[in-house]
């Protein structure tokens, strides 16, 4: 499609470079911005630029951060004895959102996946080692995908560090809240029976 | 959701201010930008800012433009005798995209809609008058929505200018290419019979 203006054409091109946004959606978004006060578009542009230029990665856990060490690693009220290993920064956000975890994290930056050519050397295994060598960590919690790749990654880390004085655990696999047993896959259902928990009134 | 970084949080807030993009999609887009070279985010931000600050509206037809008068109005090879009245700049792009029209345009900026509180005074009826007064226009073509509002708008403009020495036409209503008659609505089908065209081999 030909656009009546070069600035419009350029903006549509750039916006449609984002995943899941085609030319038509990009045009719709551009026209929306043109109907708003110019300040909104300027502010949007600035915040995108600040995002890519100003974001830092915590040198401890590799989570996103505004400073050298992130707020979670800097929080001395959090339990240093627990280290939760996750694949991605999104997983940290998801777990934080539950409000159920008060330990520290380590963001691996992916999972072992021969299909995608990702081996242990591309993950931050060295950072786990550094954490374990500090002697503070007593339990290493795997919060990885319930997939072959996630399991492989957990097994690799377990084998590498099992001689160290640390307990290993994995987040529970089972029937998700709201699921009906009839439709649950048999592996999840099997695990949920094997790993049954003591019933109490709180559910 | 809490974000580990203020620049990320700000970017997600701004991006999710766009229509059809929620917080989760905004986060996905922000994380995508962070995986790309920073230059992509900077360029995206700049082009959005340029869009809202640099875009102009053609003073002749009210289409988007990079200059005072748009490329279409400035194109002396186009037929000044035809004036196509459309609601929106998107309609200009859509008609231009067909390659079937070589006249000029006038972007009304909406359609008469009592439900949304839009009356003739909010549309660029004055610009049509100016165009007709120039004496160049011989045919005014309505390319408006096939809705009550579109029909009302066309009727209003027709009544206002019917005493002038100009022909009025409307884009054809009928069965869209690829449609099966069985599923066509009866009004469109009725119009397509009334306004049948001479058959020729080209279809």
Which residues on chain A are in Cβ contact (under 8 Å) with B3?
64, 93
Cα–Cα distances in Å, from B96 out to A36, B57, B104, B105, B168?
26, 17, 10, 10, 20
Which residues on chain B are in Cβ contact (under 8 Å) with A20?
25, 28
Under an 8 A CB cutoff, do B93 and A33 touch?
no
Under an 8 A CB cutoff, do A29 and B14 touch?
no
Which residues on chain B are in Cβ contact (under 8 Å) with A70?
4-5
Which residues on chain A are in Cβ contact (under 8 Å) with B17?
40, 44
ipTM above 0.85? no
Tokens standing for residue A168? 């290993």
Beta bridge partners of A113: A118
Distance CA A121, CA A13 (A): 36
CB B173 within 8 A of CB B191: yes
Taking the CA of residue B133 and the nearest CA in chain A, the distance in Å comes to: 26
User: For the ranges A103-117, A121-135, B38-52, B167-181, which has the lowest average pLDDT?
Assistant: B167-181
**Does B77-171 match B6-54 at the fold level?**
no
Task: Give the residue from A19, A47, A58, A62 with the most B CB atoms within 10 Å of its CB, the best one to mutate.
Answer: A47
Domain boundaries, chain B: 6-54, 77-171
Under an 8 A CB cutoff, do B4 and A52 touch?
no
Distance CA A144, CA A84 (A): 9
pLDDT at res. A92? 92
Q: Name the region of A135 (left: φ>0; alpha: ψ -120 to 50; beta: rest).
A: left
| CATH for the stretch B77-171 | 3.40.1360.10
Which residues on chain B are in Cβ contact (under 8 Å) with A13?
47
Distance separating the N- and C-terminal Cα atoms of chain B: 58
Each residue's pLDDT tens digit, B45-74? 999 999 999 999 999 999 999 889 999 999
pLDDT at res. A150? 92
Alpha helix (H) ranges present in A99-184? 125-133, 148-161
- CB-nearest partner of A55 from B7, B65, B96: B7
The CATH homologous superfamily to which domain B6-54 belongs is RecR Domain 1 (1.10.8.420)
* Topology of domain A78-171, CATH: Dna Topoisomerase Vi A Subunit; Chain: A, domain 2 (3.40.1360)
Alpha helix (H) ranges present in chain A? 6-15, 23-35, 38-54, 71-74, 89-98, 125-133, 148-161, 186-194
Under an 8 A CB cutoff, do B44 and A15 touch?
yes
Taking the CA of residue B55 and the nearest CA in chain A, the distance in Å comes to: 7
Distance CA B71, CA B40 (A): 29
- Contacts across the A-B interface (CB distance below 8 Å): 182
Buried b (16+ CB within 10 A) or exposed e, A125-149: bebbeebbeeeebeebbbbbeeeeb
Q: How confident is the model at residue B202 (pLDDT cuts 50, 70, 90)?
A: low
CA B184, B185, B188, B189 torsion-angle sign: positive
Q: Is the pLDDT of residue B197 over 90?
A: no
- CB-nearest partner of B66 from A7, A70, A97: A7
Distance CA A128, CA B89 (A): 56
Each residue's pLDDT tens digit, A75-101? 999 999 999 999 999 899 889 888 889
**Which residues 6+ apart lie within 8 Å of B152 measured at CB?**
B111, B112
Phi, psi of B163 (to 5 degrees): -75, -15
Each residue's pLDDT tens digit, B128-158? 999 999 999 999 999 998 889 999 999 999 9
């Amino acid at each position: 499609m030909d656009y009546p203006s070069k600035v419009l054409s350029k903006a549509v091109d750039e916006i449609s470079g984002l995943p899941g946004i085609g030319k038509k959606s990009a045009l719709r978004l551009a026209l929306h911005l043109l109907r708003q006060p110019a300040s909104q578009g300027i502010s949007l542009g600035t915040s995108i630029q600040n995002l890519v230029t100003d974001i830092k990665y915590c040198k401890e856990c590799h989570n996103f951060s505004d400073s050298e060490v992130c707020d979670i690693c800097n929080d001395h009220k959090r339990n240093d004895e627990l280290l939760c290993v996750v694949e991605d920064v999104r997983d940290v956000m998801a777990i934080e959102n539950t409000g159920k975890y008060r330990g520290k994290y380590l963001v691996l930056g992916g999972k072992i996946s021969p299909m995608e050519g990702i081996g242990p050397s591309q993950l931050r295994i060295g950072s786990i080692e550094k954490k374990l060598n500090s002697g503070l960590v007593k339990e290493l919690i795997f919060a990885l995908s319930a997939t072959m790749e996630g399991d492989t990654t957990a097994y690799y880390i377990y084998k590498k560090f099992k001689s160290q004085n640390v307990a290993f655990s994995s987040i529970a696999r089972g029937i998700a809240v709201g699921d009906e047993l009839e439709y649950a896959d048999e592996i999840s259902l099997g695990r949920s029976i094997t790993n049954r928990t003591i019933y109490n009134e709180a559910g």
